[in-house]
Amino acid sequence: MSKIAFIGLGIMGAPMALNLLRGGHQLYLHSRSGVPADLAAQGGHVCKSASDAARQAEIIIMMVPDTPDVEKVLFAENGVATALTPGKIVVDMSSISPIETKRFAARIRELQCEYLDAPVSGGDVGAKNGTLTIMVGGSQTSYNKLKPIFALMGKNVTLIGSNGAGQTCKIANQIIVALAIEAVAEAFVFASKSGVDVSKVRQALMGGFASSRVLELHGQRMIDRAFEPGFRVELHQKDLNLALNGARTLGVSLPNTATAQQLFNACVADGGGRQDHSALARTLEKMANHQIGQTEVAHKLTEDQPTQRDTKT
């Protein structure tokens, strides 16, 4: 049994912490939004600050929204760094800047502690089921120590490289997921406005080369209009900002990532920043003046349409 501080207990963090409790570990919990009652009921210790949690633990895990949040948790007054003693391991499972991650790691190592960046993919479903993909940056030694902890939260755990490599891999993941969501949404808008049953389109595509977890899960969300957040639009927008900023630094072009980001920007501007990222479909629906699955269609490709030859005089 390990003594673990878990800081950040939102949509993702709370079920991840619960899986660690169920795995028999002793948890010291802190979150700016408060510690969920079920975690305290399961034996989690409620702490008044990040430093209070870190002081009592040998492993400190953070799961917060953005780079400034991680910096605050680590280095602000009553932050984690004020409570570190040599040999403790700090693990950041948030999705943040790889460049800042390297800087944070260096500062923690100066305190004779170890640091891993270990962002995750799999959404709230993966967090609840303990099936997350975990992408780790750090030393082999630190990774080996944390493998049993990671195994309680994820099924696909990979050491990518040194500090920052986990965050770089997560950005690559977010590029792929954003473009997949956009592709599914475009396909569904096209099929629906053509007068075709989108549920049957999804069913057919799940058996073909277009099959994916995004089509399976987020495709169903689009059909059901189930946009309560598993992963918020505003967080994916943040991740694509990291991708595009990194691309400028590297001197590479990410044209389709930029397009997906513009669609996320439109979602946020329209008040949908806190909806699930599958709600990107709503922006495409507005551009098409058509909601996926609506029965009244403006145009059906299945009907006979006049050809270019028919329209000539």
SS3 of 266-294: the string is HHHHCCCCCCEHHHHHHHHHHHHCCCCCC
Give the torsion sign (CA, 36, 89, 138, 71).
positive
154-161/45-46 β-pairing: unpaired
Cα angle value 136/32/155 (rounded, 5°): 30
Query: Position 118: which residue type?
Result: A
Dist CA 24 CA 238 (whole Å): 34
Q: Is 170 a catalytic residue?
A: yes
For 129, residues 6+ apart whose C-beta sits below 8 A from its C-beta are none
Given 88, 128, 170, 193, the catalytic residue: 170
Dist CA 103 CA 64 (whole Å): 17
17-25 contacts at long range (C-beta below 8 A, 24 or more positions apart): 17/44, 18/42, 19/127, 19/130, 19/152, 19/153, 20/149, 20/152, 20/153, 22/152, 23/152, 25/1, 25/149, 25/152
Measured from the Cβ of residue 232, the count of other Cβ atoms closer than 10 Å reads 21
SS3 of 226-242: the string is CCCCCCEHHHHHHHHHH
Q: What is the CA radius of gyration of the chain?
A: 22
- Residue positions annotated with a catalytic role: 170
